[in-house]
Structure 1
């Protein structure tokens, strides 16, 4: 019995040590991703670091790299098979975050490696909606070309078109986005929860160029 107990304790200690070693490697993987250190990333993966391990915020190494726009690290991780749709504790994924922030190099990589175009953020919006809100013209076009639904409604009952008007600044970038969304089939008749259309919002804000586009 004593030998059996000793063996069990030894196995438990070995298991805990192995777990700690794996955790350390995973932490180093996240650090390497943040530092854009591709060589270290590849070494750690070869040594057994878990590609989609999570930190305390639920972020994978790829999402960490995406947050800091570390393109080389993101590319290495994606090519190694990292999940571009893995969400953290607040429902951000590398694909969704890159789209929302206009990180087009990483967004392009996620789109070519299985990005879920129907996935939504914590507000119930696709990547296209925050991209439109923040005035990322090229990003909006990339997402339109990829096939994201231009008429998807988030929890506020707003489309990308509505957000470009209501949360935009009425400047050239947002006007261009409204133009591109309309050309892609955005429905200008979709109103918000109060029954106010994008055209009415544009008129209330004095956004004349948007008003002209939405009136046709």
Structure 2
């Protein structure tokens, strides 16, 4: 599917013409890009809510993965497209799917990128706060390393374990200290975390 075609699609195009366009792209071409991104994943990356809605109505697979193992939900979370995240979750996208080289969940992706809206959608949908990646880091570890203070606050208030340890024995606070993420250190200490 040409990227220009996705970019050209807009709510102004009218929902019936958009639905027909999405069905033809998805059902007839099913063209993935060089990374194995499906038309749905590309629409999720771009935050094209009407296109995502039309592709889902046409039968697009919310669990499809690209060559790296990432799902459309990973893409939407990383880019912070909260409405797309909500729609994918409602369509049955697995909130705890693991993808990428680090085998991270969508919550890891949203936490790392500081996408607070996506983090909240995942929390409300029941995503695991304790799911770990390949290095046994939780989303709180990832947010702490990336200095994402709003995400840290949201995760801890939702019940994330402040004392969880990665494979090297680091807590989120210890990782924030090691990486010089002083704002994260301050928030974690305020929330009662221990190194």
Residue 106 (structure 2) pairs with residue 127 (structure 1): yes
Q: Which residue does the alignment assign to 2:149?
A: 175
What whole-Å deviation, never above 9, does each CA across 1:130-172 have from its counterpart, x for those lacking one? Answer: 211111111111101101100111012211011111122xxxx
Q: Which residue does the alignment assign to 2:5?
A: 32
Q: Which residue does the alignment assign to 2:131?
A: 152
Aligned pairs (5 A) from 1:79-158: 79-122=57-100, 123-158=102-137
Residue 163 (structure 2) pairs with residue 184 (structure 1): no
CA distance in 2, matches of 1:49, 1:83: 11
Q: Which has the higher contact order (CA 8 A, sep 6+)?
A: 2
Number of aligned positions between the proteins: 184
Change (3 A) 1:42 1:81: same
What whole-Å deviation, never above 9, does each CA across 1:72-119 have from its counterpart, x for those lacking one? Answer: 211111122211121111222211110122111211110110111221
- Flag structure 2 segments of 5+ consecutive residues without an equivalent: none
CA distance in 1, matches of 2:91, 2:26: 23
CA distance in 1, matches of 2:191, 2:114: 17
**Cα RMSD, aligned residues only:** 2.6
Deviates most, 75-84 or 107-116: 75-84
Change (3 A) 1:104 1:51: farther
Query: TM-score if structure 1 supplies the norm length?
Result: 0.74
Q: How many angstroms does 1:48 deviate by?
A: 8.9
Q: Which residue does the alignment assign to 1:14?
A: none
Q: 2:52 aligns with which of 74, 81, 99?
A: 74
